[in-house]
């Protein structure tokens, strides 16, 4: 069975506060660097049991900074995978989540995201399509039992999980994907996807926990 390990980048000062989107200069904070090291150790232990064949990352700085310790521990190069870059939030980039909750479109992105296009940016459906295309491109490089790691972003990973689990895009917000978490999708010899785990944070010293009723994921 082929396997894709979907890793969300570690935490930074924007998580849960503002939409970083594709803005440059968003780096892991001190806690995020510790998370990235713990994540690298966890994946190294996996690598010892069954070696990974590839390590891919979104081109955003916070993703690369998460992938670098993994690359060092596993002895693999970080390959850029543009298809899993963060959502293009357009005019929403850099804005505080507290103020965005007052926007009429906030209800759309939370309840019917398949109908959502960010002002001046991309639609959630477009994001899902290009992210899944990226996963398929990585899958094509693996042998029958090959495994690869992809470091990406919360909404991107949730959209990928939704696609391969057969979940409608309008329900992708029901998945929780915390900073430095691991989610795994396996693919049988016939190509049938199996969601093995979602949001594994056993290695994270202080995993992020969603607050009931806040209506938002920990973006950033």
Contacts of 10 (CB under 8 A, 6+ apart): 28, 31, 32, 33, 35, 36, 39, 62, 65, 66, 179, 180
pLDDT one-digit tens code per residue, 26-44 = 999 999 999 999 999 999 9
Domain residues of the chain, as ranges? 2-200
Distance (Å, whole) CA 126 – CA 138: 19
> Which residues are catalytic, by number?
9, 86
pLDDT at 208: 66
Residue 205 has pLDDT above 90, yes or no: no
Q: Please check whether residue 141 is in contact with residue 53, taking contact to mean a CB–CB distance below 8 angstroms.
A: yes
Is 206 labeled as ligand-binding?
no
Element (H, E) at 182: strand 182-187
> E-strand spans in the chain?
2-8, 54-57, 78-80, 147-152, 182-187, 193-200
pLDDT one-digit tens code per residue, 165-181 = 999 999 999 999 999 99
3-state DSSP assignment of residue 187:
strand
| CATH 3.40.50.1240 assigned to 2-200 | yes
Residue 69 has pLDDT above 80, yes or no: yes
């Amino acid at each position: 069975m082929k396997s894709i390990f979907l890793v969300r980048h570690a935490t930074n000062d924007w998580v849960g506060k503002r939409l970083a989107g594709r803005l440059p200069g968003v780096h892991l904070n001190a806690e995020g660097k510790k998370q990235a090291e713990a994540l690298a150790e966890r994946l190294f232990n996996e690598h010892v049991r069954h070696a990974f064949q590839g390590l891919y990352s979104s081109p955003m700085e916070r993703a690369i900074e998460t992938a670098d310790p993994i690359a060092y521990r596993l002895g693999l190069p970080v390959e850029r995978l543009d298809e899993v870059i963060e959502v293009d939030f357009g005019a929403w980039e850099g804005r505080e989540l507290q103020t965005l909750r007052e926007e009429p479109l906030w209800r759309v992105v939370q309840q019917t995201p398949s109908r959502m296009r960010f002002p001046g940016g991309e639609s959630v459906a477009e994001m899902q399509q290009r992210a899944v295309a990226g996963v398929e491109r990585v899958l094509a490089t693996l042998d029958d039992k090959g495994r690869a790691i992809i470091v990406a972003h919360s909404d991107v990973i949730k959209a990928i999980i939704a696609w391969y689990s057969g979940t409608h895009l309008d329900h992708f917000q029901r998945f929780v994907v915390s900073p430095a978490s691991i989610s795994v999708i396996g693919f049988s010899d016939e190509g049938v996807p199996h969601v093995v785990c979602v949001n594994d944070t056993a290695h994270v010293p202080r995993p992020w926990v969603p607050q009931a009723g806040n209506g938002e994921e920990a973006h950033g």
